[in-house]
Amino acid sequence: MIEAGTKAPDFSLPDHDGNQVSLSDLADRRLVLAFYPLDFSPVCSDQLSLYQEVLDEIESKDARLVGVSVDSSYCHHAFRKHRGLTMTLLADFHPKGEVSRAYGAWIEQVDHGNRSLVLVEDAEVKWSYASPTPLEIPGANLIFDALAD
């Protein structure tokens, strides 16, 4: 997992509407990157729905939460609509997992991202967390603790 104090790897990924989004496009606020394995899986659905419930509170702390997985923009679009999500979802689709790997949020054995959180501010990683297993959802309390520091 990427460590605090590291320069945040730059990226440009399509969002849920197919628009390219780069790290610099998200630099106006603190950025919480929420890496997760796949749209529509039961645990991922629970994870993103949980974050949606507290999204207003995250944003009130001058932060933005953005989800990242290997699914396509089309899949992200459908997932957002199905789950009632309003956060940006980025497609780390091609090359598969390149950004997830750069942030240390990748599990080679299963060929998808791990559930990981990264707080970026001023293009620097301020905090990161990786779940011990992709079946464990990083709670919203971890995000709020990181934003409080």
* Helix residue ranges per DSSP H, 17-131: 42-53, 55-60, 73-83, 98-102
Residues 129 and 1 sit within 8 Å (Cβ to Cβ):
yes
What mean pLDDT is predicted for residues 52-80?
A: 98
Rounded to two decimals, the pTM is: 0.97
Do the domain assignments include residue 46?
yes
Q: What are residue 91's phi and psi, to 5 degrees?
A: -95, 105
Count how many domains the chain has.
1
Do the domain assignments include residue 17?
yes
Q: Residue 149: what pLDDT?
A: 75
Do the domain assignments include residue 23?
yes
Residue 74 CA to residue 49 CA, distance in Å, equals 19
Q: Residue 76: what pLDDT?
A: 98
Do the domain assignments include residue 132?
yes
In this prediction, residue 11 has a pLDDT band, given cuts at 50, 70 and 90, of very high
- Provide the 3-class DSSP secondary structure of residue 39: coil
Provide the residue range defining the domain that includes 54: 12-148
Do the domain assignments include residue 5?
no
- Active-site positions read 44
- The percentage of the chain sitting over the pLDDT mark of 70, rounded to a whole number, equals 100
List the CATH number of the domain containing 54. 3.40.30.10
Six token digits for residue 54: 């507290």
Do the domain assignments include residue 2?
no
Do the domain assignments include residue 1?
no
